A and B are shown apart, each in its own frame.
Chain A
Amino acid sequence: MTKSKELKFESPSFAERLKSMLGVDFYRLFHTPVFYIFLAISAIIPAMVSAMTMMPDQNGNTMEPLYSNVWQIIAATEPLYVINTIADYANMNMVFIFGGIMVSIFIGHDYKSGYVKQLFTTHAKKQDYMMSKSLVCAFAIVCMCASYFIGGTFAGLLVGYSLEVNVGSLIIAIVGKMVMSLGWASLYTFLNVIFRRYFGISIASSFFFGTGILIIGAAAIVEGLSLPTGFLNVFLYGSSVNACLVSNIETLVICILVSVLWTVFYNALGTHILSKSDVY
């Protein structure tokens, strides 16, 4: 005889839901080859940029070195919103471009495979999804920053650049950029929610925003008008640039504030959009 069962309608708390979703997303991240490919790219790119400085020019002469210091591969010597040479641009901020592409591929698979459909038919909330994705993708970008740091430092030492640096500022710059990963990850998660049906556009838009071209353009106008550029730090790219080799504790505080505020904004907006539109 079948034992009659009582119907119970209970579901895990917010913390339990987020914990299980984070567990799933971390599992997926570590089982996604794309993550490891981008870690490798993050290490190789600074090495390639450094190696470029070793190449002879058309006349056979050695080119003017891009950097004079190993740590300039990691962060610019000062906040340079308008770039004049590749050296002004080629530092750890490039990770946010690769990170955007990686995040787009990672989240794009959620939609391509139909996983989100499976997920949102459970008790999972859209807010949980945005938070979990932002945190896991931020972790992935932080790992890429670490990978870039190792690759850049190793390449810089091989080329023979100077090691002279204000260690405190360097640490703050690195930590600041890592903190900014959360804001960037939220932006990319949000872009992927908006363009969830268009995988290619998700990647292209992440790349576009990751380059910081909007802020670079805005900075050129602002500098042309001889206005102060400090307000650009309220944007993700601006704050990422601000974390440089002359950083101080104030820089880190700005990075934390900007990153957290944009994360809250993008998460709230993404949750709203997911709630009001067809998930699948």
Chain B
Amino acid sequence: MNAVEIRNLSKNFGEKQAVCGLDMTVPMGAIYGFIGENGSGKSTTEKMICGLIPKSAGTIKLYGRDHTDKDVRARVGVLIEAPGCFPGLTVFDNMMLQAANLGIPDAEKEVVRALKMVRMEGAAGNKYKNCSLGMKQRVGIAMALIGEPTLLVLDEPLNGLDADGMRIMREVFLDIIKDGKRSIVVSSHLLGELQKVATHYGIIRHGKMVREMTADELDESCRTYVALRSADMSRTKMLLGCKYSRVEEDEAEYIRVYDATTPEQIVTYLYENGICVTEIRTDKIGLEEYYIDLMKEGR
């Protein structure tokens, strides 16, 4: 049984079709990285999963049941955009309200547990309006964790988090899925961070699923390249450009050769042309580059 199974999902806002014929499968125990450009339909899809907006067509099943089933909805933790908290109340009080809405019997204990998970127990007495952006995001995630949800749907949860906050979130995500029954759908533009935890990916463009794959499949799909530095970078780039079809200089000022080749072949070729290679390694493109390449293909 899959945690989320979406078939032919569509959503129209008047004339505009935000999501059109989307299929999506999130297996149990997965951290599903949901990726797409701004306006691609990620948040709309997540809102439909959570029942915040009605779908125009298609089916959404959560653990084999319709997503509107109140029993299954009670086990979905959500953070869409920003947490819905009252600014004048404390973090603790806001969380207690959410616990009460969920009908949690031992609410206080549960709230403390959720706050501890995101290392926010020290800020429980702070008024929500006085929290920083990163703290607010952590409160939002803590609220989503109340009641030990079976499915977490998190829209841009990493926004505003510092390095420590992101590390904590990674730990929280991995802790949640460790029993293999809970799942997380997380959308983020911080693809490097997402790649550290995601077990599955879904890439959406213009409201349609472009690709769904596991982390292993992504790894296989990511092309290898040779990155190098030399004493004369501009001439090296020119020479490599004459021989190989795709040669680029990256942000770290390495020349990358993407064509299937070996470092030895490149070193020999450059040596024959009077260039001494100072540094060379083979590597694979990451999720971010894979995603950018995929988006370029579609244009």
Contact = CB atoms under 8 A, between A and B. Distances in A.
Nearest to B102: A122
Specify which of B54, B76, B86, B153 lies most central, judged by the most chain A CB atoms within 10 Å of its CB. B86
B97 A11 contact: no
Nearest to B150: A7
Nearest to B47: A280
Interface stretch (A36-44, A111-119, A257-265): A111-119
Contacts of A28: 86, 97
B232 to A, nearest CB: 56
Interface residues of A, number: 38
B26 to A, nearest CB: 15
Interface string A200-235: 000000000000000000000000000000000000
Contact of A5 (B73, B74, B100, B179): B179
Interface stretch (A13-21, A76-84, A238-246): A13-21
Please report whether the interface of chain B is mostly helix, strand, loop or mixed according to DSSP.
loop
Specify which of A17, A113, A122 lies most central, judged by the most chain B CB atoms within 10 Å of its CB. A122
Nearest to B78: A121
Interface stretch (B63-71, B220-228, B284-292): B63-71
A61 interface: no
Contacts of A113: 84-87
Given A11-B70, A114-B85, A121 B97 contact: no
A10 B71 CA distance: 5
A12 to B, nearest CB: 4
B21 interface: no
Interface in B177-219: 178-181
A27 B80 CA distance: 24
B50 interface: yes
Contact of B83 (A116, A118, A120, A279): A118
B256 interface: no
22 contacts: A4-B180, A11-B103, A20-B101, A20-B102, A23-B100, A24-B101, A27-B97, A115-B85, A116-B84, A117-B80, A118-B84, A118-B143, A119-B84, A120-B50, A120-B51, A121-B51, A121-B76, A122-B102, A123-B70, A276-B54, A278-B47, A280-B47
